[in-house]
């Protein structure tokens, strides 16, 4: 399996005195076909979301308002992306452990996924995640 890396994706920004506009589309800005959209909001101070990996699901995460950090762990190294603008987000390929933390008040986190919701796609055990990463490297 080809293990991909997470990365920041900058979105188009249409400047306008009436207010700016940004967008993303299947396959153009986002490197997968979008199957599902969900969002996270009303996060109490100090809470952490995520804390798991996906076997197949790829995601693109964006802070539509407010700010938070996306911490990505590939089983060996950790990387932190600070999201605080609505014109860029982070692409998270499958088989990466990810958590969302350090939410500011009134944050709205938008997430698009490459698959429909499927609990069997979740890897919620870190030990199992490490095994799957090592298998995928072979």
Q: Which residues bind ligand TYD (CB under 6 A)?
A: 36, 38, 40, 49-50, 52, 117
The Cα-based distances of 94 to 32, 56, 73, 124 in angstroms read: 11, 5, 11, 13
Whichever of 13 and 101 has its CB closer to ligand TYD, that residue is 101
Tell me how far, at minimum, the Cβ of 23 lies from ligand TYD, in Å. Answer: 22
Whichever of 40 and 136 has its CB closer to ligand TYD, that residue is 40
d(CA 8, CA 69): 12
d(CA 132, CA 80): 22
| Radius of gyration over every alpha carbon of the chain, rounded to an integer in angstroms | 15
Query: Which residue is associated with the tokens 């996924």?
Result: 113
Whichever of 99 and 130 has its CB closer to ligand TYD, that residue is 99
Tell me how far, at minimum, the Cβ of 14 lies from ligand TYD, in Å. Answer: 29
- Whether residue 52 lies in the annotated active site: yes
Active-site entry in 52, 55, 99, 130? 52
Whichever of 20 and 26 has its CB closer to ligand TYD, that residue is 26
Tell me how far, at minimum, the Cβ of 15 lies from ligand TYD, in Å. Answer: 32
Which string of b and e fits 62-79 if b means at least 16 CB within 10 Å? Answer: bbeebebbbbbbbbeeee
| CA 63, 34, 115, 81 torsion-angle sign | negative
Tell me how far, at minimum, the Cβ of 35 lies from ligand TYD, in Å. Answer: 10
């Amino acid at each position: 399996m080809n293990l991909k890396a997470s990365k920041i994706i900058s979105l188009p920004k249409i400047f306008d005195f009436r207010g700016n506009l940004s967008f993303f589309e299947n396959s153009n800005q986002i490197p997968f076909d979008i199957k599902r959209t969900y969002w996270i909001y009303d996060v109490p101070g100090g809470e952490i979301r995520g804390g798991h990996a996906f076997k197949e699901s790829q995601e693109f995460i964006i802070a539509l308002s407010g700010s938070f950090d996306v911490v990505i762990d590939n089983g060996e190294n950790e990387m932190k992306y600070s999201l605080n603008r609505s014109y860029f987000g982070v692409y998270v390929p499958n088989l990466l452990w990810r958590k969302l933390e350090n939410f500011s008040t009134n944050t709205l986190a938008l997430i698009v996924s490459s698959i429909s919701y499927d609990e069997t796609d979740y890897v919620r055990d870190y030990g199992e995640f490490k095994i799957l990463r090592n298998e995928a490297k072979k």
